[in-house]
Amino acid sequence: MACSPHPGAANWHVAEETRAEIAAEFARIEVDFEGRATIFAAVEEGQAVSHDLATAGRRCFWGGVDAQTVGLTCALAADSAIEEHYMLRVSSETGMADLIQDGVVLGQFVRQP
């Protein structure tokens, strides 16, 4: 039986419903199939959105927690000694993903084509 990709493995952009202070910190999340992920910091208004890893706020490794959730272990790009843990839970109903830290939903993200 062949494996199908985890629903969390995708490119995610912050949803409009996300609180302003979270949207100001997290712009998008790229969850690759190879177990790596990158959380990109938000850019100032008027700045171009970058897809360069140099602008990443956090570089992460991920693993499946369950059929709808991935666990992210991240290091700050500016200081790799600082480690953070997140969960990205994809709703099977809406297809949106919640970014969670310490049981608190930080924001919602929308899958990009």
The answer to whether residue 59 sits within a structural domain is yes
- 11 Cβ neighbours under 8 A, 6+ residues apart: 28, 29, 30, 31, 111, 112
pLDDT of residue 110: 94
Count of the separate structural domains present in the chain: 1
Asked if residue 3 belongs to a domain, the reply is: no
Measured CA to CA, the distance from residue 67 to residue 19 in angstroms comes to: 27
Q: Which domain holds residue 53?
A: 11-112
pTM score: 0.81
The answer to whether residue 2 sits within a structural domain is no
The residue count of the chain comes to: 113
Task: Tell me if 4 is assigned to some domain.
Answer: no
Q: Is residue 5 part of a domain?
A: no
Report pLDDT for 77.
Answer: 82
- Output the tens digit of pLDDT for each of the chain's 113 residues: 446 678 899 999 988 877 676 666 788 999 998 899 999 887 655 444 445 555 568 999 999 999 999 999 999 888 889 899 999 999 999 999 999 999 998 889 999 98
